[in-house]
Amino acid sequence: MTLIADSTELAAFCDRQATAEYIAVDTEFLRDTTYWPQLCLVQVGGPDEVAAIDTLAPDIDLSPLFALMDNPKILKVFHSARQDLEIFFNLMGHVPGPIFDTQVAAMVCGFGDSVGYDTMVRKLTGAQIDKSSRFADWSRRPLSDKQLNYALSDVIHLRPAFEKLKRRVDNSNRAEWVNEEMAILTSDDTYRMDPETAWGRLKTRSNDPRYFAILKELAAWREREAQRRNTPRNRVLRDEQLFDIAAHRPTNADALGRTRGLSRDVANGRIGQGILTAIEQGLAIPKADCPSPPRKPDLPNGLGPVIDLLKVLLKMKCEKHEVAQKLIANAADLEFIAADDNAPVPALSGWRRELFGDDALALKNGQLALTTRNRKIKIVPLASNGEAA
């Protein structure tokens, strides 16, 4: 086992990886009590050696690691990379690349929706992963041998799993499918925590533009406060409290103090003043400039069975082509397709349209039908009179 806690040793290790075609990368971090993830360990698996880099070691210089992650000639292999890449984005100011996410590749190759690392490795290599240290406190030092074994095993087994997955992707001519997902995953915009867009992540049912104007200001204030204090946003205010405040629009501390779970002391203090200022700003936005509620499909009565048929078609197509349903369309996408032939959903563009979208439109428009034969769903093309072609 190799644990690197020294800048000189880290620089030498990274130099040895500089000629690698690819490296496997994983991280261990904590985020239970902070807004920004606290990076505790980075595991790197090169062609001939693996190492765990102690990012909490005193005075360690991580710039050789960042240079390695930035090397455009080395493919960086992760499994379920989004949180790992967010960490590097926060530390480096941009997303490293190029990237290959084995979870996405596994979805493309028929391993199901969001397949777990241990399941993927077991199916591809037969190795059994010991996950007993998954919830360890990675900020405490010294790290135990069991923790290091666990951490390093992730990149040790990721290398052969990646190589087998890469061959499957190439042999099935689906590299472009993976590349399309990698473009989203490696975009800096994916990881920017812009307070002004924080409201868009909230799930609420109101259709009142003024409500959304206030909610937008409240969510932006909460995001800035959480970032300033480096605390989870729900420890500043819970989502339900944001919704309640946006709906009732208190204009003074006494009224704000009647919000469920918000004490009068908080309402009368700095936090309360920040909330009231956000409400005031939301109320001051001209009606014409208020944010529009998130678009939802206008589903005519009786469209439910059409959506159910689209679900059957999606399942059939994904089983036939061995690709995860989640990668093609979700329930909301199917509702949009049922309501609108030009719905702005991924399933109606690119390779997804070829695999599913064109037939989905034909099914809803009466140009094909579904039947069963030998206990399997079959597609039946229909003539313009509705009869089998």
Q: What is the pLDDT of residues 209-227, one digit of tens each?
A: 999 999 999 999 999 999 9
- Residue 369's DSSP bridge partners are 380
Residue 201 reports pLDDT greater than 70: yes
Rg, the chain, Cα only: 25
Average pLDDT over residues 305-317: 95
Q: What is the pLDDT of residues 103-161, one digit of tens each?
A: 999 999 999 888 899 999 999 999 988 777 777 899 999 999 999 999 999 999 999 99
Fold for 304-381, please state it. DNA polymerase; domain 1 (1.10.150)
- Do 154 and 26 form a contact (C-beta atoms < 8 A)? yes
Give residue 1's pLDDT band: very low, low, confident or very high (50, 70, 90). Answer: low
Average pLDDT over residues 19-34: 96
Q: At residue 354, what is the residue type?
A: E
Q: Give residue 292's pLDDT.
A: 84
User: Model-level pTM?
Assistant: 0.88
Give residue 382's pLDDT band: very low, low, confident or very high (50, 70, 90). Answer: confident
Q: Specify whether domain 3-190 bears CATH 3.40.50.2020.
A: no
Q: Where are the domains of the chain?
A: 3-190, 195-289, 304-381
- Do 276 and 252 form a contact (C-beta atoms < 8 A)? yes
What average pLDDT does the chain have?
Answer: 93
- Rounded CA gap, 277 and 224, in Å? 14
Average pLDDT over residues 51-66: 97
- Do 280 and 210 form a contact (C-beta atoms < 8 A)? no
What sections of the chain are H helices per DSSP? 7-17, 63-70, 82-92, 102-108, 117-125, 145-171, 175-185, 209-229, 233-236, 239-248, 253-256, 264-267, 270-284, 304-321, 325-328, 331-339, 350-352, 358-364
Residue 331 reports pLDDT greater than 70: yes
Interacting residues of 367 by C-beta distance below 8 A, sequence separation 6+: 381, 382
More confident residue, 236 or 1: 236
What sections of 172-198 are H helices per DSSP? 175-185
Q: Give residue 388's pLDDT.
A: 66
Torsion of CA 357, 363, 366, 372, to 10 degrees: 150
- Do 252 and 60 form a contact (C-beta atoms < 8 A)? no
Q: Give residue 297's pLDDT.
A: 66
- Rounded CA gap, 271 and 39, in Å? 29
Torsion of CA 37, 41, 46, 49, to 10 degrees: -170
Both tokens of 95, joined, read: 């997303």
Q: Compute how many other C-beta atoms are within 10 angstroms of the C-beta atom of residue 154.
A: 24
Q: Specify whether domain 195-289 bears CATH 1.10.150.80.
A: yes
Both tokens of 257, joined, read: 């103090």
Q: Do domains 3-190 and 195-289 have the same CATH topology?
A: no
Least confident of 42-56, 208-222, 293-307: 293-307
- Residue 109's φ and ψ, nearest 5 degrees, are -100, 15
CA distances to 43, 66, 292, 380 from 55, rounded to whole Å, are: 10, 12, 44, 59
Average pLDDT over residues 159-188: 94
Give residue 383's pLDDT band: very low, low, confident or very high (50, 70, 90). Answer: confident
Give residue 386's pLDDT band: very low, low, confident or very high (50, 70, 90). Answer: low
More confident residue, 296 or 69: 69
Residue 363 reports pLDDT greater than 90: yes
Interacting residues of 15 by C-beta distance below 8 A, sequence separation 6+: 64
Both tokens of 256, joined, read: 């704000």
